[in-house]
Structure 1
């Protein structure tokens, strides 16, 4: 999964937003040591939520149940500052290789077979700005335009690395027209190939070479956005980065060597640390990557917890993991984005209308799934922003 990480999207078929809003958004953002600063030099803390696409359909979820406006209004009601919105490289491949994007109606028919037409009709009924000629990319446009209106930032197995870099470059170029864009994530949850016996290399040397090449392309396409770098092992480890350690083949990640050093941010995901006791697991979590926040780090950088989450059922929202994350991330002045907004998916793992029990929203996206969990997030957000 790739992200247009924590950013706002492209109003193309919608009315131009007031210039007053653009002033309020204070872009572009830069980093200073371990902080992100907006254009007035004030510190900005990333706090928000993940809004995923479902893979096969390649558009933001929930639109068959709720309008773009109603979903964004719910996010705004939590006082969230950012949305982490995934985009598929396959969508860009279609545009680049075939010369055009695919219309939404065709997308649903392809992804959902016999159920595609009814889902499509529900989507266009809920959000009149989405029409029969609307493509996948223009659905993202509509989401972005609504996020802009509310002042909210938008900040696999094997894949072709050249197409991945091409896709990142395309999206960086495509979105630079939006004055509210703040950042771009290069790749989410880097993991070993699933294919048994694969000879594809998976190590820090490859991490360095591919990420540096991709970051250079993104920065060249749009020098005004932050670039998020994720770690290995499902984005749970960034250990050798903070200390500029040897990554193999003579590679060392040196933040100071980048001409756009003030635009680099690290990200980590966490779903299991600590498992039983917050204090006993805190040091390991810190050492896996968040120590880059510390003044002793050779590469002192902001680290954002771009994914953490838990089931909204069975009281997980008050158990050790959830309460620990709500405590230590604000203590460290680190940003975060909770997984996940989605109450359900168009299709997932072959199941239509798949229930997402981790979703902050209920199945039909009409209300919060668990009021107590939302209370905890409000408290975490207040602690982060104080």
Structure 2
């Protein structure tokens, strides 16, 4: 319900206060070490857990500033558990004098956005007289005041909604995408934010796409763009996107990108359910989750493993947060399981509950937005629950602690906690850790001699001192590897299941959508996600 979560309020929205508070923000620069993003000074891992905030549309003013004070929005981002914002921008704002010299008020008036201008007058009056560039800098300072890192993402050249394959913004040489002007924009922005510690990374371009896209031009211009950014601002991370709407970096397997960025290179990828057949998610949920995960790994995820791993930033994923799209709901559980297991950096699409102007519609609501249309409440508080584990760092490259496991239930976003006699789901920030050597071995509660054990079909899972029986011998089954199964006394496989009656209870029941041989059924009308449990490796203390 909307009343369940109310965003933090603020007491001031003046520009001078924001600029002052911005000086109190962190002073990282970030670097890379193998597949990890780290603090350049200490070498400690820094995990980016971001939310997207668009500023690239027609007015070139970050959305929502007409709804709430900037300091309020920044505080709400922090209160929801994010440490980073992927802030989007349009090239023309920095390369075309007409746009560069526009004030916020003039830009809103240009599009006839009277309601948005009135809203800024109420909520952020100090921004109206600033140029668009100055307003963006004020937003960065406001985020820095909350110790929120900023990734500046060059989303488009011509300011408009993104993305279509033929929108003129897709690839080098398109109607609005002049390579020389793009390089000028990257250079200008890198120079502008060179000494701003809040800006930790620059993403060169969002979602290359369209009929012109090709690998030769990609290599040529990506090398030029990354060099331009690094020359002007050597402390920021340089983020590189692939082809086909940021879903394809597979060509790097045969020809790695030749860059000398002194440990500043990060790749990014997007993962949505848009192009997936709905019937596959609905009736072959286990198998299609496995297929989708393997596809992501083949196209982009391979970069975090192998002999020369590099960081991969999943800079966009998201769902309709009303919960009405069942394809989205099942995709999200699959994606979160993979994000949690790999502990990658990420950015959710998206923060905004509505737009000033999008595709000709004033005040259009964004159903993928965390916030409601008035930017007053979280649209679905359950979404924040689902993100709680992936907002944590579970793998530390500097840790000396042994690897244990967190038992994660992606559909609820909760984790299994051991009690006196059994286990139950609870907040992942205060969860138990488990040891598990391999499939076909016990799952033992850390610090005890007790193991996860089947009591019977439909009964709560228990903790038992008998760790050698079949009832305590567990394995990951189904193609998705998201069911945890063991045998009962009759030799039948039962799977862990989140109880629909007691939302914290974990039962053992007949495995959904699996045959007696634990093979996926060719078609299943049930939703197996109530039985999806994933052992997430962690070496955090």
Q: TM-score, normalised by structure 2?
A: 0.61
Tell me how far 1:335 sits from its aligned partner: 0.6
1:33 paired to 2:34: yes
* Alpha-carbon distance in structure 1 between the residues aligned to 2:369 and 2:117: 22
Q: Deviations over 1:98-145 (max 9, x none)?
A: 59520111101112x2xx2332121121023324x2111122122111
CA distances 1:174-195 after superposition (whole Å, capped 9, x unpaired): 01121232110000000014xx
Structure 1 residues 247-282: Cα deviation after superposition (integer angstroms, max 9, x where no partner): xxxxx523xxx3314100000001028744322322
> Structure 1 pair 319/179, CA: closer, same or farther in 2 (3 Å)?
closer
Distance 2:38 2:150 in 1: 16
Q: How does 1:259-278 map to 2 (within 5 A)?
A: 259-272=260-273, 275=281, 276=285, 277-278=288-289
CA distance in 1, matches of 2:100, 2:353: 31
How far is 1:12 from its partner?
A: 8.6
Distance 1:18 1:140, change over 3 A: closer
Matched, 1:231 2:233: no
| Alpha-carbon distance in structure 2 between the residues aligned to 1:374 and 1:15 | 29
Match in the other structure for 1:220: 231
1:278–1:321 contact (8 Å) kept in structure 2 = yes
Runs of 4+ in structure 1 off by over 6 angstroms are: none
CA distance 1:338–1:354, shift in 2 (3 Å) = same
Name the structure 1 match of 2:105.
105
2:185 pairs with 167, 190, 202, which one? 167
CA displacement at 1:94 relative to structure 2: 2.3
Larger Rg: 2
SS in 2 for 1:119: helix
- Residue pairs, 1:1-386, within 5 angstroms: 14-17=18-21, 21-22=24-25, 25-38=26-39, 39-53=41-55, 55-95=57-97, 98=98, 100-111=100-111, 113=112, 116-131=113-128, 133-155=129-151, 156-157=167-168, 158=174, 159-193=177-211, 201-241=212-252, 243=253, 245-246=254-255, 252-254=256-258, 258-272=259-273, 275=281, 276=285, 277-296=288-307, 299-316=308-325, 319-382=329-392
Distance 1:170 1:304 in 2: 24
Query: Residue 182 of structure 1 aligns to a residue in which SS?
Result: strand
- DSSP-derived class of the 2:199 partner: coil
Counterparts of 2:321 and 2:386, CA distance in 1: 12
> CA separation in 2, counterparts of 1:55 and 1:79?
26
How far apart, in 1, do the equivalents of 2:202 and 2:148 lie?
15
Of Structure 1 and Structure 2, the greater helix share is in: 1
SS in 2 for 1:380: coil
Contact 2:19 2:138 in 1 (8 A): no
**Contact (CA 8 Å) 1:65, 1:126: kept in 2 or not?**
yes
TM-score using structure 1 length: 0.84
Contact 1:78 / 1:378 at 8 angstroms: preserved in 2?
Answer: no
Q: RMSD between aligned alpha carbons?
A: 2.2
SS at match of 2:125: coil
CA distance 1:376–1:207, change in 2 (3 Å): same
Work out the number of aligned pairs and report it.
348
SS of corresponding position for 1:179 = coil
On the 8 A contact 1:45/1:384 being kept in 2, the answer is no
Q: 5+ unaligned residues in a row in structure 2: which ranges?
A: 1-14, 152-166, 169-173, 396-539
User: Could you say which structure has the greater relative contact order, defined with CA pairs below 8 angstroms and 6 or more residues apart?
Assistant: 1
Unaligned runs of 5+ in 1: 1-10, 194-200, 247-251
Q: Which is strand-richer, 1 or 2?
A: 2
Q: Which moved more, 1:178-187 or 1:223-232?
A: 178-187
Q: CA deviation at 1:18?
A: 7.3
